[in-house]
Amino acid sequence: MIIRLLFVLGTLLSVGVPVYIVAWLLVPMVGEDSNIATKALADRRGLALAAGLGSLLVIVLVIISVLGAGWLGNLAWPLVIGVAGVALIWRNASPDEQIMLRRLAEPLLGWPRPGKRPATVLRTLAGTVLLAGGLAILLSGHAGAKLLLPLGGLILVVAAIVVILGPWWLRIALALVAERQARARAEERADMAARVHDSVLQTLALIQRNADQPAQVVKLARSQERELRSWLFGGSVPGVAHGRATTLAAGVRLIQQEVEALHGVAVEAVTVGDCGLDDHLDALLAAAREATVNAAKWSGADVISLFAEVEPTEVSVFVRDRGCGFDPEAVPGDRKGLAESVQARMARRGGSAIVRSALGDGTEISLRMPRVGGPRQPSRA
């Protein structure tokens, strides 16, 4: 539409008449099934109005030329056609476009306005000077019948218009696009969230409760449920960037998701407080993951409790199961996971790992890591 308007302006400046008319007739509007030309021809009152405006202008021009301002005759026909065109466009433009046209006219009609930024005033001033200069050259060029001057004047006038209105048009166009996209996204999201929450989450809960094939169905249902949750509540999981956790609570949640997905065992994860991660807490999380995976693989329990608490001076993680348990003193040599990945890893960073287990009585691994810095944050579930 901006293009059409520019063409109208071009018409007023005695150029682009044929180009404008052709484009005007052939280019259909975005989102409309008929172009302006078709609609304009069907709009009797609009045609009458255009004809009326055109003839009114002709009369005014005739009077002016009679009064001796003969140079205006050069502009007369483009001017008449341009005005009639504008009238037709206005009447047949969609409501959206009318609002935009009004906005386009605003800075010209409403200027100068109180509270305008100095930059805008300066820009308008510069544009006005260019416009005046351009018009002067253009008109004197016509009077003097020189060939190059009118062209220079035209360029100046176009430059003036661009300087005055260009940034503002651009801003409006960008704002419109952004607004439409945001609205579409929000609607789509609300729609999906409502539907998925009402059906899929509930059904998943049911599947988990009533499965005849417990292991497989529960495993599938759970991983699906996690996926949906993370998608529903904020697109990506908070605190996770590029698949890596950036906070302790997010790290615990990742362990929970991975172990549930890979081993088909429920992990009941509870986190109290939260804080950012450093090397020490990365090590703590790695040890906690190893302990949880161990419990999932060896304990035989179908639920593993994973509890993490951030305190001012230390962070503790407890991994507990009610499975078969083992004798910590009699771990076979080929099962180095606990000694290497958990205890040694914690010790290297100044933390501690305590294993409590007895045959037939489950296992609990307590991990503690002193905090180096950083204040405690309230947790974000």
Residues in contact with another protein by the rule CB under 8 A: 197-198, 201-203, 205-206, 208-210, 229, 233, 266, 268, 270-273, 303-305, 307, 309, 318, 320, 322, 364, 378-381
Give whichever of 34 and 199 is closer to another protein, judged by the CB atom.
199
Q: What is the C-alpha separation between 11 and 9, in angstroms, rounded?
A: 5
Give whichever of 49 and 303 is closer to another protein, judged by the CB atom.
303
CB of 295 to another protein, least distance (A): 11
CB of 230 to another protein, least distance (A): 12
CB of 217 to another protein, least distance (A): 13
Give whichever of 257 and 271 is closer to another protein, judged by the CB atom.
271
CB of 188 to another protein, least distance (A): 21
Residues with Cβ within 8 Å of 159's Cβ and at least 6 positions away in sequence, in order, are 130, 134
Give whichever of 140 and 224 is closer to another protein, judged by the CB atom.
224
- H or E element at residue 306: strand 303-310
CB of 194 to another protein, least distance (A): 11
114 DSSP assignment = T
Closest CA to 337 of 303, 266, 281, 286: 286
- H or E element at residue 75: helix 73-92
Give whichever of 74 and 316 is closer to another protein, judged by the CB atom.
316
Judged on CB neighbours under 10 Å (0-12, 13-18, 19+), 284 is buried
Give whichever of 234 and 333 is closer to another protein, judged by the CB atom.
234
Find tokens 């949880």 and name the residue: 292
Give whichever of 154 and 304 is closer to another protein, judged by the CB atom.
304
Count Cβ neighbours within 10 Å for each residue of 192-202 and write b for 16 or more, e otherwise: eeeeeeeeeee
Residues with Cβ within 8 Å of 295's Cβ and at least 6 positions away in sequence, in order, are 265, 301, 304, 319, 320, 321, 323, 363, 365
CB of 244 to another protein, least distance (A): 21
Q: What is the C-alpha separation between 136 and 131, in angstroms, rounded?
A: 8
Would you tell me the crossing angle of helices 214-232 and 202-210 to the nearest 10 degrees?
A: 160
Tokens of 237: 């999981």
CB of 329 to another protein, least distance (A): 22
Q: Cβ distance 91 to 25 under 8 Å? A: no
Phi-psi region of 362 (alpha: psi -120 to 50; beta: other; left: phi over 0): left
Give whichever of 40 and 204 is closer to another protein, judged by the CB atom.
204
Paired residues of 357 in beta bridges: 363
CB of 189 to another protein, least distance (A): 17
